[in-house]
Amino acid sequence: MATIKDVALHSQTSVGTVSRYLNGYQVKIENRHKIEKAIEELGFSINLMAKGLKTNITMTVGILIPTLSNIYSTKIIEGIEHYLDDFGYSILVCDSRDDVKIEKQKLKFLQDKHVDGIIIMPVDRYDSGKNIQETIDSGVSAVLIDRLTQGVTCDAVVSDNVNASYVVMQHIIERGHRKIGIIAGDQKIYTAYERLLGYKRALQDYNLPIDDNLIGYSDYTKIGGSKTVNEILEKNTDCTAIFATNYETTISTVKAVLDRGYTIGQEISIFGYDQTELAEITEPPISLVIQPIEDIGKKAAEFLIKRMKRDMANFPSIKRLATKIITTDSIRNIL
């Protein structure tokens, strides 16, 4: 069985350099490529769990996400994994199924697996905090991603949700729309709360009333989104625009209005979220908020690497990444 010394000899590097690579520290790109080639050619492997019992380092990062069934989660995980790859870390992904109790169980599971750190998308902006903080207090480095939750002291990486919603509403209002529906999402979810906040601030700044009949609280699924958009349209026959605030409800909104026989950009205007694939096949293309999804994952992983190395500069930090706003003829000018 190959040893670290064999890898060093085969890669023409030092034992110290190989050790640094295996422990997740940065080495020169040229040396990293040599070491990776030597590891592959020699069939070198290391028992991370046994190593962890000796050093408390397993080179594994846990990722805890409320649902793995949508493309947003997949892209987030890709961003995390791509960044961690350069440091030699593997990932262990868990699904909390939008349930705080399961979230607590999964946090315990990841601790029992001796992960070196955890990146967490909290289920709830109120109730997730206690369990996450207990995990941090046990000595595990953690970073929140996409959502914040109360009572937690750690770094976080999120989209600038309030500003994104505000800019969307500004665009819709300035094209003459006054009856604007929103698929707001469950307000226990931090992102849903912030996106609704941006919607309301824009209405207030333009001296427009906040009409509760135009606000729909979907569960952020395709089925929930479809039900909610239909309820809004049935209650408000004078509604001229809909703002769908996540990926799934954008699909639901487009399908619902087409099923009603409406022409997008004529009888009804639509602004959506992240649905670049759908935007390419609708006519006109859908106006969209595009989140820097993979960058969110990479930045969270960057924070975690720093904290696992006990670099606590500017701790805790909240990084809000700007979104990209794409406007199209899906928002009709009715002035």
- Cis previous bond, 209, omega within 30: no
Which residues are paired to 288 by β-bridges? 272, 326
Q: Determine what percent of the chain is predicted with pLDDT higher than 70.
A: 95
CATH (one of 3.30.70.420, 3.90.420.10, 2.40.40.20, 3.40.50.2300) for 58-159+293-322: 3.40.50.2300
Encode pLDDT of 180-194 as tens digits: 999 998 999 999 999
Q: What's CA 47's distance to the chain center, in Å?
A: 31
DSSP one-letter code for 272? E
Pairwise CA distance, residues 175 & 16, whole Å: 63
Which structure tokens are listed for 288? Answer: 């969209």
pLDDT-based confidence at 24, cuts 50/70/90? low
CB 262 within 8 A of CB 255: no
Cβ–Cβ under 8 Å, residues 222 and 193: no
**pLDDT tens-digit readout, 280-332:** 788 899 999 999 999 999 999 999 999 998 899 999 999 999 999 999 999 99
CA 303 vs CA 91, 97, 292, 296: distances in Å: 16, 25, 16, 11
E-assigned strands of 1-77?
60-65
Domains of the chain, by residue range, sit at: 4-46, 58-159+293-322, 161-291
Is the model's pLDDT at 1 over the cut of 70? no
- Quick check: do 58-159+293-322 and 161-291 share a fold? yes
Could you name the CATH architecture of 161-291?
3-Layer(aba) Sandwich (3.40)
Contact between 284 and 258 (Cβ < 8 Å): no
Tens of pLDDT, residues 171-180: 999 999 999 9
- In Å, how far are 91, 151, 155, 307 from 313, measured between CA atoms? 25, 21, 11, 9
